Amino acid sequence: MNIYGDWGNVLVLKQRLKWQGYNPVVTEYNPGDEFPSDVDLIVGGGGQDSGQVVIQQDLQQLAPTLRGLADDELPMLAICGLYQLFGRFFKTHDGVLIPGIGVLDIETHGGPERLIGNVLSVSDEFGEIHGYENHSGQTFLGTDAQPLAHVRKGEGNNSKDDTEGARYRNVVASYLHGSLLPKNPAIADFLIEKAVTRRYGSFDPAPLPDADLAGLARLSELARKHASDRPR
């Protein structure tokens, strides 16, 4: 699934890995494909309810593998629709129950209204997190899931508390599009660090190699400042 530019998350990870001196290989996975046997990082995007129905059977077949990889500290990024399916279930507003795969201790219930607009949330680990939400699902965290962040502007997981996204080990899940990682490079670097450390045993981040890339870093901070000032 890939709506609202979620493929941009892959592009950011690929480029930032190159800046660190690695040669990333991106393998696309579609329902029915053979799941790669040697993977370092998993990224999935959002999709409409109809898209979730299309992938659910294939996703259920992968459930034991994905749960095992999550328990084994493999870093993953799950956005919006995939975030919902990483939980126990998604019950649509029409009462259709779409089973999840149980990577995350969450459940999602379709609501009568969509939660739409810019979001500003804050995480102790990642600082301010900026993005854009567009979902009707109301997601609630269980005792074994921690929120990714707490919302200052917007709705986040639901309209009843101030949480946004969820965390489990090295799994990062969020409702935020935009794409998420271009606006929030700290999350991208977290995923990279965990992937490299899991593969090679350690990660020694390199400085930005030249002034041009330093300029891009300043541009990123400027973009984040503008994002925080955008109206809901």
Q: Decide if 82 is inside a domain.
A: yes
CA 19 distance to own-chain centroid: 22
Give the residue numbers marked as catalytic: 80, 177
pTM value > 0.85: yes
Q: Is 169 annotated as a binding residue?
A: no
| For residue 209, pLDDT beyond 70 | no
**4 burial type by CB count under 10 A (0-12 exposed, 13-18 middle, 19+ buried):** buried
Q: Is residue 151 part of a domain?
A: yes
What is the total count of domains within the chain? 1
Is 143 part of a structural domain of the chain?
Answer: yes
The domain in which residue 32 lies consists of 7-229
| 92 or 174, higher pLDDT | 174
Contacts of 30 (CB under 8 A, 6+ apart): none
Residue 133 in domain: yes
pLDDT for the residue 35:
92
Strand residue runs (E) in 31-190 = 42-44, 76-79, 89-91, 97-99, 106-123, 127-141, 149-153, 163-164, 166-168, 171-174
- For 128-174, the pLDDT digits (tens) are 999 999 999 999 999 999 999 999 999 999 999 999 999 999 999 99
Q: Is residue 210 part of a domain?
A: yes
- Domain-embedded: residue 80: yes
Give helix 7-19 / helix 185-200 axis angle, nearest 10°.
Answer: 60
In a domain, 2, yes or no: no
Identify the CATH number of the domain in which residue 100 sits: 3.40.50.880
Contact (CB, 8 A) for 110 and 138: yes
Compute CA 14 distance to the chain's CA centroid, rounded to the nearest angstrom: 15
- Does 79 reside within a domain? yes
pLDDT value at position 32? 86
**Widest CA span in the chain:** 55
- What percentage of the chain carries pLDDT values higher than 70? 89
